Structure 1
Amino acid sequence: MNKDKILRGRPSGGKLAEGYALVCKNSIMGWNGIDVETGVITEKGHSYQGQSIENKILVLPGSRGSIGWSDFFYGCHLNGHGTAGYVLTKMDSKCGTAVVMAGVPCVSDFPEKQDPCQCIRTGDYVRVDGEKGMVEILERSIKG
Protein backbone atom coordinates (compact mmCIF):
# COMPACT_ATOMS: atom_id res chain seq x y z
CA MET A 1 0.00 0.00 0.00
CA ASN A 2 1.20 3.47 -0.87
CA LYS A 3 1.38 5.38 2.44
CA ASP A 4 0.63 8.67 0.64
CA LYS A 5 -2.77 7.24 -0.19
CA ILE A 6 -3.65 6.15 3.35
CA LEU A 7 -5.27 8.39 5.94
CA ARG A 8 -5.58 7.29 9.55
CA GLY A 9 -8.22 8.62 11.87
CA ARG A 10 -10.47 7.34 14.62
CA PRO A 11 -12.56 4.23 13.94
CA SER A 12 -16.09 5.58 14.17
CA GLY A 13 -18.46 2.85 13.04
CA GLY A 14 -19.30 0.15 10.57
CA LYS A 15 -16.94 -2.20 8.81
CA LEU A 16 -15.81 -1.69 5.20
CA ALA A 17 -17.16 0.33 2.30
CA GLU A 18 -15.79 1.36 -1.07
CA GLY A 19 -17.06 4.00 -3.41
CA TYR A 20 -16.49 7.28 -5.17
CA ALA A 21 -15.80 10.21 -2.89
CA LEU A 22 -17.96 13.31 -2.80
CA VAL A 23 -15.91 15.94 -0.98
CA CYS A 24 -17.94 18.84 0.42
CA LYS A 25 -15.42 21.17 2.05
CA ASN A 26 -18.21 23.36 3.46
CA SER A 27 -20.40 20.40 4.49
CA ILE A 28 -24.11 20.25 3.62
CA MET A 29 -27.03 21.71 5.52
CA GLY A 30 -29.52 19.19 6.86
CA TRP A 31 -32.70 21.26 6.73
CA ASN A 32 -33.21 22.40 3.10
CA GLY A 33 -29.83 20.93 2.19
CA ILE A 34 -30.69 17.35 1.25
CA ASP A 35 -33.83 15.69 -0.12
CA VAL A 36 -34.46 12.60 2.04
CA GLU A 37 -36.67 11.07 -0.67
CA THR A 38 -33.92 11.10 -3.32
CA GLY A 39 -30.58 11.73 -1.59
CA VAL A 40 -30.03 14.76 -3.83
CA ILE A 41 -28.30 17.88 -2.48
CA THR A 42 -30.84 20.73 -2.61
CA GLU A 43 -28.95 23.44 -0.74
CA LYS A 44 -29.13 26.61 -2.84
CA GLY A 45 -25.72 27.71 -4.06
CA HIS A 46 -23.98 24.52 -2.90
CA SER A 47 -21.21 23.47 -5.30
CA TYR A 48 -22.85 20.03 -5.60
CA GLN A 49 -26.48 21.16 -5.72
CA GLY A 50 -28.42 18.62 -7.81
CA GLN A 51 -26.00 15.73 -7.18
CA SER A 52 -26.85 12.61 -5.23
CA ILE A 53 -25.07 11.29 -2.14
CA GLU A 54 -26.40 7.78 -2.81
CA ASN A 55 -23.69 5.11 -2.54
CA LYS A 56 -20.97 7.78 -2.30
CA ILE A 57 -18.31 8.08 0.36
CA LEU A 58 -19.30 11.44 1.77
CA VAL A 59 -16.28 13.47 2.91
CA LEU A 60 -17.17 16.38 5.19
CA PRO A 61 -15.51 18.57 7.81
CA GLY A 62 -18.52 17.78 10.05
CA SER A 63 -22.21 18.64 10.13
CA ARG A 64 -23.63 22.10 9.44
CA GLY A 65 -26.89 23.54 10.65
CA SER A 66 -29.50 22.49 13.16
CA ILE A 67 -29.69 19.42 15.37
CA GLY A 68 -31.99 17.91 12.73
CA TRP A 69 -28.96 17.28 10.49
CA SER A 70 -28.76 13.64 11.57
CA ASP A 71 -32.46 13.09 10.81
CA PHE A 72 -32.06 14.25 7.23
CA PHE A 73 -28.98 12.18 6.48
CA TYR A 74 -30.39 9.11 8.22
CA GLY A 75 -33.66 9.69 6.33
CA CYS A 76 -31.76 9.26 3.06
CA HIS A 77 -30.65 5.82 4.30
CA LEU A 78 -34.20 4.88 5.31
CA ASN A 79 -35.40 5.72 1.80
CA GLY A 80 -32.62 3.75 0.08
CA HIS A 81 -30.58 6.77 -1.00
CA GLY A 82 -27.94 6.97 1.72
CA THR A 83 -24.18 7.09 1.52
CA ALA A 84 -21.90 4.05 1.41
CA GLY A 85 -19.86 5.62 4.21
CA TYR A 86 -18.62 8.80 5.83
CA VAL A 87 -15.18 10.36 6.23
CA LEU A 88 -15.35 13.25 8.70
CA THR A 89 -12.55 15.65 9.58
CA LYS A 90 -14.08 15.99 13.05
CA MET A 91 -16.93 13.97 14.52
CA ASP A 92 -19.75 15.83 16.21
CA SER A 93 -22.94 14.61 17.86
CA LYS A 94 -25.08 15.19 14.74
CA CYS A 95 -22.73 13.18 12.52
CA GLY A 96 -22.33 10.49 15.17
CA THR A 97 -26.08 10.02 15.43
CA ALA A 98 -26.50 9.68 11.65
CA VAL A 99 -23.58 7.22 11.37
CA VAL A 100 -24.75 4.99 14.22
CA MET A 101 -28.37 4.94 13.07
CA ALA A 102 -27.42 4.19 9.45
CA GLY A 103 -24.84 1.57 10.45
CA VAL A 104 -22.40 2.57 7.73
CA PRO A 105 -18.60 2.74 7.94
CA CYS A 106 -17.09 5.96 9.19
CA VAL A 107 -13.62 7.25 10.01
CA SER A 108 -13.22 10.61 11.74
CA ASP A 109 -10.99 12.91 13.77
CA PHE A 110 -7.92 13.04 11.55
CA PRO A 111 -4.63 14.74 12.42
CA GLU A 112 -4.28 18.24 10.96
CA LYS A 113 -1.82 17.12 8.26
CA GLN A 114 -4.29 14.49 7.06
CA ASP A 115 -7.44 16.58 6.64
CA PRO A 116 -9.54 14.36 4.37
CA CYS A 117 -11.23 17.40 2.81
CA GLN A 118 -7.78 18.42 1.53
CA CYS A 119 -6.29 14.97 0.81
CA ILE A 120 -9.24 13.33 -0.97
CA ARG A 121 -10.77 14.70 -4.17
CA THR A 122 -14.29 14.29 -5.47
CA GLY A 123 -14.28 11.31 -7.80
CA ASP A 124 -11.43 9.47 -6.05
CA TYR A 125 -12.32 5.83 -5.44
CA VAL A 126 -11.75 5.13 -1.75
CA ARG A 127 -12.07 2.36 0.83
CA VAL A 128 -13.27 3.23 4.34
CA ASP A 129 -12.43 0.83 7.16
CA GLY A 130 -14.58 1.89 10.10
CA GLU A 131 -13.02 -0.73 12.40
CA LYS A 132 -9.36 0.15 11.78
CA GLY A 133 -9.82 3.89 11.30
CA MET A 134 -8.23 3.81 7.87
CA VAL A 135 -9.18 5.46 4.58
CA GLU A 136 -7.33 4.31 1.50
CA ILE A 137 -7.41 6.18 -1.80
CA LEU A 138 -7.51 3.29 -4.27
CA GLU A 139 -7.77 5.31 -7.46
CA ARG A 140 -7.35 9.03 -8.09
CA SER A 141 -9.95 10.93 -10.07
CA ILE A 142 -8.85 11.95 -13.54
CA LYS A 143 -10.36 15.42 -12.93
CA GLY A 144 -8.05 16.17 -9.97
Structure 2
Amino acid sequence: MAKSDILCGRPSGGKLAEGYALVCKNSIMGWNGIDVETGIITEKGHPYQGISIENTILVIPGSRGSIGWSDFFYGCHLNGHGPAAYVLTKMDSKCGTAVVMAGVPCVSDFPEDQDPCELIRTGDYVKVNGEKGTVEILERSVRA
Protein backbone atom coordinates (compact mmCIF):
# COMPACT_ATOMS: atom_id res chain seq x y z
CA MET A 1 0.00 0.00 0.00
CA ALA A 2 1.36 3.40 -0.97
CA LYS A 3 1.84 6.02 1.73
CA SER A 4 -0.64 8.23 -0.13
CA ASP A 5 -3.35 5.69 0.71
CA ILE A 6 -2.96 6.38 4.44
CA LEU A 7 -4.29 9.62 5.89
CA CYS A 8 -3.05 10.77 9.28
CA GLY A 9 -5.20 12.88 11.56
CA ARG A 10 -5.90 13.15 15.27
CA PRO A 11 -7.02 10.01 17.11
CA SER A 12 -10.49 10.98 18.30
CA GLY A 13 -12.10 7.89 19.75
CA GLY A 14 -12.82 4.22 19.50
CA LYS A 15 -10.55 1.49 18.22
CA LEU A 16 -10.91 -0.01 14.74
CA ALA A 17 -13.61 -0.15 12.10
CA GLU A 18 -13.65 -1.12 8.44
CA GLY A 19 -16.30 -0.47 5.87
CA TYR A 20 -17.44 1.38 2.80
CA ALA A 21 -17.07 5.14 2.86
CA LEU A 22 -19.98 7.52 2.44
CA VAL A 23 -18.43 10.91 1.65
CA CYS A 24 -20.70 13.91 2.22
CA LYS A 25 -18.62 16.96 1.26
CA ASN A 26 -21.26 19.35 2.63
CA SER A 27 -22.05 17.21 5.69
CA ILE A 28 -25.63 16.39 6.69
CA MET A 29 -28.07 18.51 8.68
CA GLY A 30 -29.19 17.08 12.01
CA TRP A 31 -32.73 18.52 12.27
CA ASN A 32 -34.65 17.44 9.13
CA GLY A 33 -31.48 15.90 7.74
CA ILE A 34 -31.40 12.41 9.21
CA ASP A 35 -34.08 9.99 10.39
CA VAL A 36 -32.98 8.63 13.77
CA GLU A 37 -35.29 5.63 13.43
CA THR A 38 -33.66 4.41 10.19
CA GLY A 39 -30.37 6.27 9.69
CA ILE A 40 -31.65 7.45 6.30
CA ILE A 41 -30.62 10.88 5.05
CA THR A 42 -33.82 12.93 4.69
CA GLU A 43 -32.34 16.33 3.93
CA LYS A 44 -34.11 17.77 0.88
CA GLY A 45 -31.73 18.11 -2.06
CA HIS A 46 -28.86 16.24 -0.38
CA PRO A 47 -26.88 14.17 -2.92
CA TYR A 48 -27.49 11.08 -0.76
CA GLN A 49 -31.11 11.75 0.19
CA GLY A 50 -32.74 8.35 0.77
CA ILE A 51 -29.42 6.58 1.58
CA SER A 52 -28.69 5.16 5.04
CA ILE A 53 -25.57 6.00 7.06
CA GLU A 54 -25.88 2.67 8.91
CA ASN A 55 -22.57 0.78 9.14
CA THR A 56 -20.82 3.19 6.78
CA ILE A 57 -17.58 5.01 7.39
CA LEU A 58 -19.12 8.48 7.40
CA VAL A 59 -16.70 11.03 5.94
CA ILE A 60 -17.80 14.62 6.54
CA PRO A 61 -16.13 18.01 7.07
CA GLY A 62 -17.91 18.40 10.44
CA SER A 63 -21.42 18.98 11.71
CA ARG A 64 -23.89 21.28 9.99
CA GLY A 65 -26.87 22.96 11.55
CA SER A 66 -28.09 23.51 15.07
CA ILE A 67 -26.67 22.36 18.38
CA GLY A 68 -29.07 19.39 18.19
CA TRP A 69 -26.89 17.78 15.49
CA SER A 70 -25.23 15.52 18.06
CA ASP A 71 -28.63 14.36 19.37
CA PHE A 72 -29.78 13.26 15.92
CA PHE A 73 -26.59 11.38 15.06
CA TYR A 74 -26.35 9.77 18.49
CA GLY A 75 -30.04 8.86 18.13
CA CYS A 76 -29.14 6.88 15.00
CA HIS A 77 -26.66 4.90 17.10
CA LEU A 78 -29.20 4.31 19.87
CA ASN A 79 -31.56 2.83 17.31
CA GLY A 80 -28.87 0.64 15.72
CA HIS A 81 -28.53 2.70 12.54
CA GLY A 82 -25.39 4.78 13.13
CA PRO A 83 -22.17 4.73 11.14
CA ALA A 84 -19.41 2.24 12.00
CA ALA A 85 -16.94 5.15 12.25
CA TYR A 86 -16.54 8.86 11.56
CA VAL A 87 -13.82 10.58 9.56
CA LEU A 88 -14.03 14.34 10.17
CA THR A 89 -11.98 16.99 8.41
CA LYS A 90 -12.23 19.09 11.57
CA MET A 91 -13.73 18.09 14.91
CA ASP A 92 -16.29 20.41 16.45
CA SER A 93 -18.20 20.14 19.72
CA LYS A 94 -21.34 18.69 18.09
CA CYS A 95 -19.37 15.92 16.37
CA GLY A 96 -17.32 15.29 19.50
CA THR A 97 -20.44 14.78 21.58
CA ALA A 98 -21.95 12.30 19.10
CA VAL A 99 -18.69 10.36 18.71
CA VAL A 100 -17.98 10.07 22.43
CA MET A 101 -21.53 9.05 23.29
CA ALA A 102 -21.66 6.48 20.47
CA GLY A 103 -18.23 5.07 21.32
CA VAL A 104 -17.30 4.43 17.70
CA PRO A 105 -13.91 4.98 16.03
CA CYS A 106 -13.16 8.47 14.78
CA VAL A 107 -10.22 10.25 13.21
CA SER A 108 -10.33 14.02 12.80
CA ASP A 109 -8.39 17.25 12.35
CA PHE A 110 -6.45 16.41 9.21
CA PRO A 111 -3.81 18.71 7.75
CA GLU A 112 -4.97 20.84 4.82
CA ASP A 113 -3.16 18.63 2.29
CA GLN A 114 -5.02 15.54 3.55
CA ASP A 115 -8.68 16.57 3.35
CA PRO A 116 -10.53 13.23 3.65
CA CYS A 117 -13.56 14.64 1.82
CA GLU A 118 -11.33 15.11 -1.23
CA LEU A 119 -9.08 12.05 -0.96
CA ILE A 120 -11.66 9.40 -0.06
CA ARG A 121 -14.47 8.56 -2.47
CA THR A 122 -17.88 7.13 -1.70
CA GLY A 123 -17.59 3.38 -2.08
CA ASP A 124 -13.91 3.16 -1.12
CA TYR A 125 -13.30 0.43 1.45
CA VAL A 126 -11.42 1.99 4.37
CA LYS A 127 -10.06 1.13 7.80
CA VAL A 128 -10.33 3.71 10.57
CA ASN A 129 -7.97 3.44 13.54
CA GLY A 130 -9.31 5.76 16.22
CA GLU A 131 -6.37 5.00 18.53
CA LYS A 132 -3.58 5.75 16.05
CA GLY A 133 -5.36 8.48 14.08
CA THR A 134 -5.05 6.79 10.71
CA VAL A 135 -7.46 6.16 7.87
CA GLU A 136 -6.26 3.58 5.38
CA ILE A 137 -7.87 3.25 1.97
CA LEU A 138 -7.80 -0.52 1.47
CA GLU A 139 -9.69 -0.70 -1.82
CA ARG A 140 -10.70 2.03 -4.22
CA SER A 141 -14.24 2.21 -5.54
CA VAL A 142 -14.60 1.34 -9.19
CA ARG A 143 -16.79 4.43 -9.58
CA ALA A 144 -14.99 7.53 -10.83
Which TM bucket (shorter chain)? Answer: over 0.9
Matched residue, 1:50? 50
How do residues 87-126 of structure 1 correspond to structure 2 at under 5 angstroms?
Answer: 87-126=87-126
Which amino acid in structure 1 is aligned with residue 4 of structure 2? D
RMSD value over aligned CA atoms?
Answer: 0.4
Task: Provide the rounded CA distance (Å) in 2 between the counterparts of 1:131 and 1:89.
Answer: 17
Task: Provide the rounded CA distance (Å) in 1 between the counterparts of 2:80 and 2:14.
Answer: 17
1:99 aligned counterpart, secondary structure: helix
Which amino acid in structure 2 is aligned with residue 4 of structure 1? S
Q: Where do 5+ consecutive residues of structure 2 fail to align?
A: none
Matched residue, 2:40? 40
Following superposition, the deviation at residue 33 of structure 1 comes to: 0.1
Where has structure 1 moved over 6 Å in runs of 4 or more? none
Following superposition, the deviation at residue 141 of structure 1 comes to: 0.2
Following superposition, the deviation at residue 51 of structure 1 comes to: 0.1
1:40 aligned counterpart, secondary structure: coil
Q: Where do 5+ consecutive residues of structure 1 fail to align?
A: none
The alignment's TM-score, normalised by the length of structure 1, stands at 0.99
Following superposition, the deviation at residue 96 of structure 1 comes to: 0.1
Following superposition, the deviation at residue 106 of structure 1 comes to: 0.1
Following superposition, the deviation at residue 80 of structure 1 comes to: 0.5
Identity of aligned residues (%): 86
String of CA shifts for 1:39-93, please: whole Å, max 9, x gaps.
Answer: 0000000000000000000000000000000000000000000100000000000
Task: Provide the rounded CA distance (Å) in 1 between the counterparts of 2:116 and 2:37.
Answer: 28
Task: Provide the rounded CA distance (Å) in 2 between the counterparts of 1:2 and 1:113.
Answer: 16
Following superposition, the deviation at residue 143 of structure 1 comes to: 0.3
